Amino acid sequence: MNNTGKFVLKILCPDQSGLVAAFTGGIAQNGANILDLTQHTSEDINIFFLRALMECESDAVPKIKEHFSKMEKEKSMQWQLYDAEHKTRLALFGSNTDHCLYELLLSRRDGALPCEFTCIISNHAVLEPLARFFNLPFFLVPSTLPKPEQDKKFNEILHASQTEGIVLARYMQIMSKEFTEEWNERIINIHHGFLPAFKGAKPYHQAWAKGVKIIGATAHFATADLDQGPIIWQGVQQVADTGSIEQFIQIGKEVEKRTLLQALKLWLEHRVFLYEGRTFVL
């Protein structure tokens, strides 16, 4: 007896006539029913994107894979088929602050995130009680270790726990080029982002001193270029000139929490497409 399941099909290819009909026809002909379909053509680069959520019996999956494999060369396309009911296994990295970690852990507990958290890794012991509260393994990897040794410890933990992706929930350390490349497109980071941007220590103090009117945050893929990875989602909040530095910090935390949560949801639902270093979210 075949089981019915839900799957997400993602397609990226040069734009050309008849793509929607060809792709949706291929899905239907191989026994799947489309539940949700989003497609977009970026006219600036002439690239077509499609995301289809579909339902089918298990014996239809090999047929769908074979069908789209045969279309690859003809359409010059990239495609992936994901099990929509699979709960991606993610590791959480943190440092001293825990507001983003709490947001993700509570959202997962409440069923708002389709994932499983495998562990919390930190360069500070302060987060160990949080890990215990949520029944997660905690691993302390000091930032004083040389980068190659840190990377080795990270990978030992991640591979042993069958981790598939990483969320940097205000992990305040620079990751090595080798590590970000090994986990390419599988590390999501949250960064306080302002207009203008403030770098270095105490960014909220700098923002207050300059009289900024908007506080923001950016969730992006981590790359070897610090805070320059492809952007997944951004959030902003208007702030009043009557606000204190402490109020700026609190507002900033709220923006960071909701921005990281939204970015992670989009990634877990396979809505994020990457093309030449730029994201397209459908």
The residues carrying an active-site annotation are 227
Q: If you count them, how many residues does the chain have?
A: 282
Query: Which helix (H) or strand (E) element contains residue 248?
Result: helix 245-268
CB 280 within 8 A of CB 273: yes
Query: Which helix (H) or strand (E) element contains residue 52?
Result: strand 47-57
Please tell me the distance from the alpha carbon of residue 227 to that of residue 168, in angstroms, as a whole number.
12
Which amino acid, residue 248?
A: F
CB 189 within 8 A of CB 260: no
Give whole-number Cα distances, 171 to 58, 59, 74, 175, 219, in Å.
40, 43, 44, 10, 13
Which amino acid, residue 253?
A: K
Q: Is 87 exposed, middle or buried (0-12, 13-18, 19+ CB in 10 A)?
A: middle
Three-class DSSP category at 139: strand
Q: Is 217 exposed, middle or buried (0-12, 13-18, 19+ CB in 10 A)?
A: buried
User: What's the DSSP call for residue 149?
Assistant: H
**Structure tokens of 9?**
């099909």
Three-class DSSP category at 11: strand
Please tell me the distance from the alpha carbon of residue 179 to that of residue 154, in angstroms, as a whole number.
9
Please tell me the distance from the alpha carbon of residue 162 to that of residue 89, in angstroms, as a whole number.
7
CB 266 within 8 A of CB 109: no
